[in-house]
């Protein structure tokens, strides 16, 4: 796959992302919903510096004033001791992530503990930090190839028996639709 074009790689990445969402729907969470995700990580640094500016990029312009207000209140509450600091920080993180998610058109279902990133998201972050997508692209290519081959194998197996009965024919059609839709996606 050395000569894979950017659009072909995008399709492969999309296929894998969709596949992971289908395979693991109950653990699928947004990256930004975790306490060690990029939004909260920057929010922690902003609170330590006392400067809200770095986190404003995570929200739409119409939400800036709300973030600025909550940030000021959080800084004031932090001065009241460790317990107040912990509660205020969490309120700020939740508000920031909620508004970020709303800007994406997505629901906010709460913050997940640190260390709960999905493997695919962790791999994507690792590529960003390494400054190279090569390993990630190889892994995605392997996963996509396996997924296509698995579906094709099921289709070809079902094809052998498709005319033996209506039930066998339906199994073939189901395998055909799944295979074609996956490749099309």
Instruction: State pLDDT tens for residues 117-156.
Output: 777 777 888 888 899 999 888 988 998 999 999 999 999 9
Percent share of the chain, pLDDT over 70: 83
- For the residues 10-15, what does the mean pLDDT come to? 47
Q: How confident is the model at residue 10 (pLDDT cuts 50, 70, 90)?
A: very low
pLDDT of residue 150: 95
Contact 74, 47 (CB under 8 A): yes
C-alpha torsion angle, residues 169, 171, 177, 180 (rounded to 10) = -100
**What's the whole-number mean pLDDT along residues 4-15?**
46
Q: Provide the pLDDT for residue 21.
A: 44
pLDDT digit string, tens, across residues 21-69:
444 433 344 577 888 888 999 999 999 999 999 999 999 999 999 999 9
**pLDDT, average across residues 7-29:** 44
Q: What is the mean pLDDT of the chain?
A: 84
* pLDDT for res 117: 75
Query: Helices 134-159 and 119-130 meet at what angle, rounded to 10?
Result: 150
Q: Does the pLDDT value for residue 17 go beyond 70?
A: no
- Of all residues in the chain, the percent with pLDDT exceeding 90 is 57
Instruction: Kindly indicate the confidence band of residue 91, based on its pLDDT and cuts at 50, 70 and 90.
Output: very high
pLDDT of residue 120: 79
């Amino acid at each position: 796959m050395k000569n894979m074009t950017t659009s072909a790689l995008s399709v492969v990445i999309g296929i894998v992302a969709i596949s992971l969402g289908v395979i693991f729907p109950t653990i699928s969470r947004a990256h930004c919903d975790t306490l060690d995700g990029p939004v909260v990580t920057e929010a922690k640094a902003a609170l330590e510096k006392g400067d809200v500016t770095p986190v404003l990029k995570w929200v739409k312009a119409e939400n800036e004033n709300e973030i600025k207000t909550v940030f000021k209140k959080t800084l004031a509450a932090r001065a009241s001791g460790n317990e107040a600091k912990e509660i205020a920080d969490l309120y700020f993180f939740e508000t920031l992530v909620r508004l970020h998610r709303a800007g994406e058109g997505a629901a906010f279902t709460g913050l997940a503990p640190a260390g709960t990133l999905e493997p695919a998201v962790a791999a994507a972050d690792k590529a960003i930090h390494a400054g190279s997508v090569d390993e990630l692209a190889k892994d995605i290519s392997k996963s996509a190839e396996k997924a296509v081959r698995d579906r094709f194998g099921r289709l070809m197996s079902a094809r052998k028996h498709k005319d033996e009965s209506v039930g066998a024919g339906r199994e073939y059609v189901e395998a055909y639709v799944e295979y074609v839709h996956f490749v099309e996606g």
